[in-house]
Amino acid sequence: MLLFRAEEHVEKWCADWNLSRGETLSPDKCWQLAKVWYSADRREPDWRRRTADEAESLFSELGLTSPFWRLLPS
Amino acid sequence: MTAGQEKADFDKEVRRVVYDFTMREGAPPTSERVAENLSTAPSDVKSSFARLADAHILVLQKGNGEILMANPFSAVVTPFLVNVGNRSYYGNCIWDAMGIPAMLGADARISTSCGCCRTAMEATIKDGALAEASGVVHFAIPAARWWDDIVFN
């Protein structure tokens, strides 16, 4: 996941790397995602990775509902 | 206690030491440092690293079995420098770079560059909010395929 100056720079990067365009988020939406994804203390014995179901729910709560964010078979 | 439970408990201890060290020192520790901390053999720690990598909790360097990523932290220099107070960290990507102040609960300044033209860019986290940032974040790979090639991703 990279930061770009503008959408046109994303388009050029994708063309240069021969990649399909993925999804873009505002920096603030990315910060919201980082906060909920990484705020749990991984030093704690009870910490565990989210299940795919839990991760999808988290994406959904942030409005990330397109197929791009899907982890479970539909 | 079964051998499986013993390994699971040991892996939790290794995870605790890895993140404690990383958050305090700025980068993930070597297997030797973790072994010293737990008074055990480095080979046992490397086995634990391998199990934690299989569980997608760590990403290891190819060939030597040492940590490459303890997300959101990188063990190597990346284009995502995160300054927190007088300490520096490296994130694996812009999401992870933002994840570092999220995990530390601290203000931070993230220095990176445009993925396309390499123009320097910065983002600032202050009091739990994104105080200063511009541009757009691009996720190239759909979520279901992130772990197909986590280093590229």
- Is the model's pLDDT at B98 over the cut of 80? yes
Q: Which chain B residues touch A59 with a CB distance below 8 Å?
A: 143
Nearest to B93 among A2, A5, A43 (CB): A2
Element (H, E) at B138: strand B136-139
Claim: this prediction has a pTM higher than 0.90: yes
State how far the alpha carbon of B61 is from the alpha carbons of B17, B58, B78, in Å.
Answer: 19, 10, 14
Q: Which residue of B has its CA nearest to A56?
A: B143
Question: Looking at the predicted structure, is the pLDDT value of residue B149 above 70?
Answer: no
- Of A59, A69, A66, A68, which is closest to residue A32 (Cα–Cα)? A59
Model confidence at B2, in pLDDT bands (50, 70, 90)? confident
Is the reported ipTM for this assembly greater than 0.90?
yes
Using 50, 70 and 90 to split pLDDT, how confident is the model at B146? confident
pLDDT of B150 strictly over 70: no
Q: Are A5 and B94 in contact (CB < 8 Å)?
A: no
The chain-wide mean pLDDT, for chain A, equals 94
B118: left (phi over 0), alpha (psi -120 to 50) or beta: left
Mean pLDDT score, B29-53: 97
Contacts of A10 in chain B (CB under 8 A): 115-116, 136, 138
Alpha-carbon gap, residue B96 to B101, rounded angstroms: 9
If you ran DSSP here, which 8-state letter would residue B125 be given? E
Coil vs helix vs strand at A21: coil
Euclidean distance between CA atoms A40 and A46, whole angstroms? 10
Phi, psi torsion values for A26, nearest 5 degrees: -70, 155
Average pLDDT in the B21-27 region?
96
Q: What is the mean pLDDT of residues B100-127?
A: 97
> Strand pairing partners for A23?
B139
